[in-house]
Structure 1
Amino acid sequence: MKIVTGNDLKTGAVVWWTGTDWSIHVEDAVDAGEQADGVATREEAARRVNVPYVIEAERDGDGVRPAHIKDRIRALGPTVRPDLTLKPADPSAGNWVI
């Protein structure tokens, strides 16, 4: 499975390609397959996301899991303090004041 990730240009938040837009929740990421590189190129040109790139991932019972530890940390947050991780069910997740 190939998914596309990057950082939102307005907030700096890690975002994941949903097939139509971007989400801060890795669980919303879709398998971009052979179109992944094209999505990254198109979205970078549209200047909605900073440095989008394609990563390997797998879908399991818990949702989408990036293959590399660096991207797992980007997706789920700090590894030493589980209380600081991004909780998708939290309605205020991602509502930053800038």
Structure 2
Amino acid sequence: MKLLTGNDLPSGDVVWWTGAGWSRHVEDAVDVGHDGEGIARAEEGCRRVNVPYVIDATQTPEGPRPAHIKDRIRALGPTVRTDLTLKPADPAAGNWVI
């Protein structure tokens, strides 16, 4: 299975080709087969997406999943526990000693 991904031009968000447009959800992505490079060129030329490229993926019960870890992170989010990150609204955020 081949998926087409890139970044939304105005927002920079990761997006996935749905067969009719772009979605921020990898679950909406469709197999582009051998047509991926042509779709990528056309979409980049229309300035709807930045740096589109074709990746390998597998179909799972939850939807398509990128084969490479880099693209899985782009699709499914960070690999760290977000509950352990420093929040900007945290009152203690300004108490760092450097």
Structure-1-length-normalised TM-score: 0.81
Instruction: Please state whether the residue corresponding to 1:42 is helix, strand or coil.
Output: helix
Instruction: Please state whether the residue corresponding to 1:16 is helix, strand or coil.
Output: strand
1:27 is matched with 27
The count of aligned residue pairs is 83
Structure 1 residues 17-96: aligned runs within 5 Å: 17-81=17-81
1:92 is matched with none
Instruction: Please state whether the residue corresponding to 2:74 is helix, strand or coil.
Output: helix
Structure 1 stretches of 4+ with a deviation exceeding 6 A read none
Instruction: Please state whether the residue corresponding to 1:11 is helix, strand or coil.
Output: coil
Unaligned runs of 5+ in 2: 84-98
Q: CA RMSD in A?
A: 1.1
User: Distance in 2 between the 1:40 and 1:13 partners?
Assistant: 16
User: Distance in 1 between the 2:58 and 2:66 partners?
Assistant: 6
Unaligned runs of 5+ in 1: 84-98
User: Distance in 2 between the 1:51 and 1:34 partners?
Assistant: 18
Instruction: Please state whether the residue corresponding to 1:79 is helix, strand or coil.
Output: coil
User: Distance in 1 between the 2:4 and 2:54 partners?
Assistant: 5
2:94 is matched with none
Over the matched positions of the two proteins, sequence identity in percent amounts to 69
With over 3 angstroms needed to count, the CA separation of the structure-2 counterparts of 1:6 and 1:48, relative to structure 1, is same
Structure-2-length-normalised TM-score: 0.81
1:87 is matched with none
2:90 is matched with none
Equivalent residue letter for 1:17: W
Matched, 1:13 2:13: yes
